[in-house]
Amino acid sequence: MSRTTAVHIDLAAISENIRTLRGSLAAHRFMAVVKADAFGHGAVQVAQHIESIIDALAVAFTEEAVALREAGVSAPLLILEGPHTASDLALAGKLNLWPVIHSDEQIEWCKTLGADLSQAWIKIDTGMHRLGFTAERYAGIRDTLLSYGIGAITAMSHLASAEEPDNALIQAQLQSWEQTVRGGQDTTSLHNSAAMQRGLSASSDWVRVGYAVYGGQTKGLPNPAPLRPAMRFSSSVIALRDVPTGESVGYGGRWTAQRARPPAGCTRRSSDRQRARARRRRCCGACCRR
Ligand SMILES: Cc1ncc(COP(=O)(O)O)c(C=O)c1O
């Protein structure tokens, strides 16, 4: 087969990134987010590779967790969307999954199934307004869930733009969060990649880290941690075309040649040998987008 287009996943980069990120964390527990097939890196492979160096994993929904358990992954698993149905919650009890509880319907399911759960995380909406209960309801819901027999509760919230810690929304979220979890009764989890890398000062026994695990950098950090991208895309140029100035290329003619050159990052006056070499050369992806 001659197809050269491929995505290369570097599992060693992922484990190195986790070790680097953990280095600055001291006492925090580390949850690696492997939702959406580990952001395209392969959830089973990533989870199996990092299981021994993380404290827990997070996925979006129950089916993702079931697939990991079937592959033999035994690390604690948080379901970020929580159960979609009562039978999802029953599975959580059976497979020792930790559901996030963010709606009254989910609380209702916990009435009969809560005793089977070792943990549940209560999502507090501090201002992102995607999921969660208002901060005022947190203490009451915590008491209710504990009365249903759930083993332990963690308070969690999610920040809308931790990349910009001076942003008014973040400041309001941090204030609401600290007021709600003040008193330290429960375990807490607030920090995502950016909050962790920015070193945001806020209660967060657990960090839930997604894109930094895969090498994503938070913009504007004075001393960014040396993270390595874990995914590389490679392809090859399949044809070099001479496109006259003013002619358009492709669907809808949305790209127009501003000067006469082939749309493959290759000089027009290159020799046949240079062209042949360029054709064989691995493509960076950017030139193919033209
Ligand atoms: C609830 C929740 N927590 C944490 C994360 C991780 O966020 P980040 O990728 O910014 O580290 C995500 C996103 O993946 C999320 O949805």
pLDDT at 282: 43
Q: What tens digit of pLDDT does each residue of 121-176 get? A: 999 999 999 999 999 999 999 999 999 999 999 999 999 999 888 899 999 999 99
Catalytic residues: 35, 251
Dihedral (Cα; 194, 198, 201, 206), 10-degree rounding: 40
* Cα R_g (the chain), whole angstroms: 24
Q: In Å, what is the CA distance from 284 to each residue of 145, 175, 231, 263, 287?
A: 52, 44, 13, 13, 7
Instruction: Specify the ligand 1 atom closest to the Cα of 216.
Output: 9
Find where tokens 């083993």 sit: 151
Q: In Å, what is the CA distance from 228 to each residue of 17, 124, 134?
A: 7, 33, 38
DSSP 82: -
Give the pLDDT band of residue 182 (cuts 50, 70, 90): confident
Instruction: Specify the ligand 1 atom closest to the Cα of 60.
Output: 16
| Structure tokens belonging to residue 16 | 């190195």
Q: Is 230 helix (H, G, I), strand (E, B) or coil?
A: coil
Instruction: Specify the ligand 1 atom closest to the Cα of 39.
Output: 14
pLDDT at 270: 47
Predicted confidence (pLDDT) at residue 113 exceeds the cutoff of 90: yes
Return the HEC string of 102-128.
Answer: CCHHHHHHHHHHHHHCCCEEEEECCCC
pTM of the model as a whole:
0.86
Q: What tens digit of pLDDT does each residue of 67-107 get? A: 999 999 999 999 999 999 999 999 999 999 999 999 999 99
Q: Whose CA is nearest to atom 14 of ligand 1?
A: 210
Which amino acids bring their CB within 6 angstroms of ligand 1?
33, 35, 80, 158, 192-194, 208-212
* Close Cβ partners of 139 (under 8 Å, ≥ 6 residues apart): none
Pocket test for ligand 1, best of 80, 102, 123, 130 (most atoms within 8 A of CB): 80
- Report residue 110: phi and psi, to 5°: -70, -20
DSSP 133: B
CA 61 to ligand 1 center in whole angstroms: 13
pLDDT at 169: 95
- The structural domains of the chain, ordered by start, are 11-220 (3.20.20.10), 237-289 (no CATH)
Give the separation between CA 245 and CA 260, rounded to whole angstroms.
5
CA 191 to ligand 1 center in whole angstroms: 9
CA 209 to ligand 1 center in whole angstroms: 6
CA 193 to ligand 1 center in whole angstroms: 7
Sign, CA dihedral 199-202-203-208, equals negative
Q: Where are the beta strands (DSSP E) in 63-113?
A: 77-79, 97-101
CA 57 to ligand 1 center in whole angstroms: 11
Least Cα distance to 196 among 10, 51, 16, 23 occurs for 23
Sheet holding 6-9, edge to edge: 6-9, 231-236, 282-283
Least Cα distance to 202 among 223, 225, 171, 169 occurs for 171
Q: What tens digit of pLDDT does each residue of 212-270 get? A: 999 999 888 888 889 999 999 999 999 999 999 999 999 999 999 998 665 554 444 44
Pocket test for ligand 1, best of 161, 164, 196, 208 (most atoms within 8 A of CB): 208
Give the pLDDT band of residue 24 (cuts 50, 70, 90): confident
Query: Going by DSSP bridges, is the β-strand pair 97-101/77-79 parallel, antiparallel, or unpaired?
Result: parallel
38: left (phi over 0), alpha (psi -120 to 50) or beta: left
